[in-house]
Amino acid sequence: MRSRQRMFAAAMRLLLKCLRLGRRRRFKLVRQVEQLWHYGHLCLRSLLYNSFTNGDVVLDSLFEPVYWLVDHVTRWFGVVFVALVIGLTSSIVAIVYICLLPLILQTYTPAWICWHLTYGHWNLIMIVFHYYMAITTSPGHPPQAKNDLTGVSICRKCIAPKPARTHHCSICNRCVLKMDHHCPWLNNCVGHYNHRYFFSFCLFMTMGCIYCSISGWEMFRDAYAAIERMKLLDKERLQVAANQTYYQTPPPTFSFRQRAFHKSVVYLWVLCSSVALALGALTLWHAALITRGETSIERHINRKERQRLQKKGKVFRNPYSYGSWDNWKVFLGVDVPRHWLTRVLLPSPHLPHGTGLSWDLPPCVMEQHAPLLAI
């Protein structure tokens, strides 16, 4: 009896010892895994740590493949977009000359004929001139000789000094002076030397589309009603052809010229109205930026800087803004009153103020404005 009790006690002690040993090994394994996890996390943070890293930087990094795809697609399809703009504009001009101009000369009074001929051709000349200058004029780039170049930062892509208001275009793969954006419809960057041409093209194209939409509204209504009658008569003609007898005659049909005329008028009005809405919104957006003395890129930079300084109880002031009226004079290059006619209302290839490398006070601005920061 005692031998059995001793054997049972020995077996229980061995079992408890095994359990304690397994528990120790398990706890030791868990501690090793935790140490490896903390060590790996510390190594990852030490390799990737950056005091400027935030949610926006992480989001931009995740979308980098999408940006790469968009940049390359835009680069290769820029010529296609330019051809599309030229083709659509040429089609509208052809419809106006072939279809609408003879009708205007036959039905309008001499005063209205003079108005349409004068305004229409002036608007067309301004559109063609500014679009040609926008796509052929270089936006401006920092010089290759970097010895005498004063930069406010270093471009991460070019590894070169970057002047104020200069940004790198990933599509052109170059730094652009006073860069606003890369426009695929121009196949060119919008920068210091062609920003005025770009905005003027948007403005006069919007004005031309609004002019065509308003002037062709009555013609559009008549043409749309005629097309509906065409569809109804075509339906009746098919029904008559299916049940035709010797005593029935098919209804009259429209000629090919009449069909082409009505469809061309509808195409002109729909295209001009759509472009007027879309391009008009873009023009108003850029007009607001010009009024504040900003570019599209600077708007986002200034907004973040304004929020950062607001938390510190300070006020952000744009150093490149000279007031709403003076901002427009600087942008359009208006130094004297007659320039509103010769440089704004007529085609003018004059250069903008400054070189884009430094931003001195323009001669048309009479008084110095507040500094960048004000408490």
Query: Which run of H or E residues covers position 275?
Result: helix 256-292
Question: pLDDT tens, 89-133?
Answer: 999 999 999 988 888 889 899 999 999 999 999 999 999 999 999
**Catalytic residue chosen out of the listed positions 169, 183, 212, 272:** 183
Q: What is the pLDDT of residue 373?
A: 41
* Residue numbers in the chain where pLDDT is lower than 50: 246-247, 369-375
Q: Respond yes or no: is residue 212 known to be catalytic.
A: no
Cα 82 to chain center, whole Å? 15
Q: What is the pLDDT of residue 67?
A: 64
**How does DSSP assign 123-137, residue by residue?**
HHHHHHHHHHHHHHS
Q: How far apart are CA 71 and CA 209, in angstroms?
A: 30
Q: What is the pLDDT of residue 143?
A: 84
Percent of the chain's residues with pLDDT above 90: 42
Q: What is the pLDDT of residue 210?
A: 97
Q: What is the pLDDT of residue 367?
A: 56
